[in-house]
Structure 1
């Protein structure tokens, strides 16, 4: 691949994604197949003045072996040094970059789903303080992707290479622009204009309607839509996702009724699911089916009560570059930014105007903010999707027609 292009991309993630400041440190999570980009990110971080960088490898093939040979008690154990590392990250405001594991999900031995669920739950509980700070946008974080040969073949066909995949990603990541950083600033400005329009409507509920969906979701009076860049407590701006096309908010955990169907594959507990139909009553999933992955959803819903309630609702225009590619990337980062989606599980307190004051689980629930050990996005948008808002004044406002935002 073009090394100058990779360097430009790494600089974008470091300088805009986490907006790294001089003498601050960075943790990078990567699979083996994208280690080359983790290395590029670490180098970019040092060029930007980083104090330390630490790359963590998430190897699903090794994970398969661990799940095979360890019992459940062993899987629940986490080494003490990780707790110290979490403390260091939170205390010293480390940046966190995760490279989506698109490459490595395609090359590993089978994962025991039940044991993988136990391990994932234990990890989330163990690092709950760090996860909470990330969900509240109190630490700078960014999820990005990197092309590899296996992912290229999965998305583009058997003859495709990582160079072909990079050509697809260039316009999506705005790397085809003369100054990608300036291009992202302009893109963010346009997202913020739509964000302000949505919030000015004082939306009480949204109705989603398509051939496979008839679904209404409600909001607390403190709910607000956000998108693109986010602000840290010190007012520094960062991008949680690159790319980023969504406008999202936190729904009320008790206000979801009807049925909604996924329109793109979703990886749940490291397993593929397709065409999940979720039926809600009073905010809770009361019935569900799936063309692929029903057993995976059984395991997901057994993790905790919060997995059956919604933690996020996002609007995405189907004319954006990811959707226009007409490709299924099998990457939650890309696919969720191609299509409207909901998330089951943990909600973002940062999407509530009073979110900073909600410090306990009880406070969050009183304000309709769901809590869970999990947060998984499910794409539900399509070119047949219609969305109508009802304002707190009772007015109905069309927001989306045939997958296109009309404001």
Structure 2
């Protein structure tokens, strides 16, 4: 890949993604296949004033071997140094970057679903404090992607190269602009204008309608839409996802009814699912099916009760560069920004006006915010979807038609 382009991308993530502040440390999670980008990010971080950079390796092939050779008690073990690192990251306001494991998901041994679910649950429980601070945007974080040869062939065909895929990603990441940093500022402002319009409607429910979906989701009076950059408690902005096209909020965990069907593949517990159909009553999944990955969804729903309720709903215009590409990237980071989506699992307290005061699970649940160890996005939008809002004043307002915002 072109070194100048790689450095420009790394600088974008450091300066706009986590918005690194001088003398702050950075943790970067990567798989083996994207270590080259973790290295570029590390160098950029030091160029921009980082105190310390720690690269962490997440190797799915090694995990496969662990799942095959350990019993349940062994799989629950997490060494004390991880908790010490979590503590320091929280206490010293580390930034966290995760490189989506698109490359390594295509080259690993088998992952036993039951054991993988047990391992993942134990890992999330062990790092629950850091996870909660991240969900509350009390720490700067950013999820990004990096092209590799296997991912390139999956997305573009058997003769595609890493450089070919990077050319596709350039407009999606606004790296084709003369000044990508300024382009992301402008893009963030556009998304915030959309969120302001939605918040002005005082939405009580959204009704999703398409040939495979007839679904209604409700909100408390405290729900607000967010989009573009996030904000730390001290007012510092950052982009939690690069790219991002979504306007999102936290629904009332008890108010979802009807059925909704995924329109793009979704990776759940490191395994692919397709055409997952979810049936809701009183906010809870009461029935489900899947063209691919029913066993994966069985494992997902066994993790905790919160996996059966919605923690996020996000609106995405089908005119985004990702949707226009016509490609399926098999990356939740990119595919979720091509289409409207919902997330099963943990909700975002920051999307509630009283969110900062909600410090306990009981308080969150009482406020209508779902809680769970998991948070997985499922793409449900399409070019034939219509979404109608009902306001708290009883007016119906069409906000999306044929997958496009009406304003």
1:341 corresponding residue in structure 2: 341
What is the CA distance between 1:337 and its match in structure 2?
Answer: 0.3
Cα deviation, 1:77-126, whole Å, max 9, x if unaligned, reads 10000000000000000000000000000000111111110010001000
What is the CA distance between 1:202 and its match in structure 2?
Answer: 0.5
2:308 corresponding residue in structure 1: 308
SS, match of residue 155 in structure 1: helix
SS, match of residue 235 in structure 1: coil
Give the distance between the partners of 1:194 and 1:267, measured in 2 at CA: 29
- TM-score, structure 1 normalization: 1.00
Unaligned runs of 5+ in 2: none
1:43 corresponding residue in structure 2: 43
Give the distance between the partners of 1:296 and 1:190, measured in 2 at CA: 37
Cα deviation, 1:174-213, whole Å, max 9, x if unaligned, reads 0001110000001011111101000011000000000000
Give the distance between the partners of 1:387 and 1:186, measured in 2 at CA: 26
Cα deviation, 1:109-159, whole Å, max 9, x if unaligned, reads 111111110010001000000000000000000000000000000000000
- TM-score, structure 2 normalization: 1.00
Matched, 1:11 2:11: yes
Give the distance between the partners of 2:191 and 2:276, measured in 1 at CA: 29
Two-structure CA RMSD over aligned residues (Å): 0.4
2:99 corresponding residue in structure 1: 99
What is the CA distance between 1:69 and its match in structure 2?
Answer: 0.5
1:207 corresponding residue in structure 2: 207
Give the distance between the partners of 1:246 and 1:239, measured in 2 at CA: 12
Alignment of 1:316-331 (within 5 A): 316-331=316-331
Give the distance between the partners of 1:296 and 1:7, measured in 2 at CA: 38
Alignment of 1:21-36 (within 5 A): 21-36=21-36
Alignment of 1:211-222 (within 5 A): 211-222=211-222
Task: State how many pairs are aligned.
Answer: 407
Cα deviation, 1:355-401, whole Å, max 9, x if unaligned, reads 00001111001110000000000000000100000001001100000
Give the distance between the partners of 2:404 and 2:41, measured in 1 at CA: 35
Matched, 1:60 2:40: no
Give the distance between the partners of 1:36 and 1:236, measured in 2 at CA: 28
Give the distance between the partners of 1:29 and 1:179, measured in 2 at CA: 27
SS, match of residue 91 in structure 2: helix
SS, match of residue 96 in structure 2: strand
2:242 corresponding residue in structure 1: 242
Give the distance between the partners of 1:11 and 1:398, measured in 2 at CA: 40
What is the CA distance between 1:228 and its match in structure 2?
Answer: 1.1
2:163 corresponding residue in structure 1: 163
Runs of 4+ aligned structure 1 residues displaced above 4 Å come to none
Alignment of 1:309-388 (within 5 A): 309-388=309-388
Give the distance between the partners of 1:220 and 1:366, measured in 2 at CA: 11
What is the CA distance between 1:329 and its match in structure 2?
Answer: 0.1
Give the distance between the partners of 1:176 and 1:38, measured in 2 at CA: 22
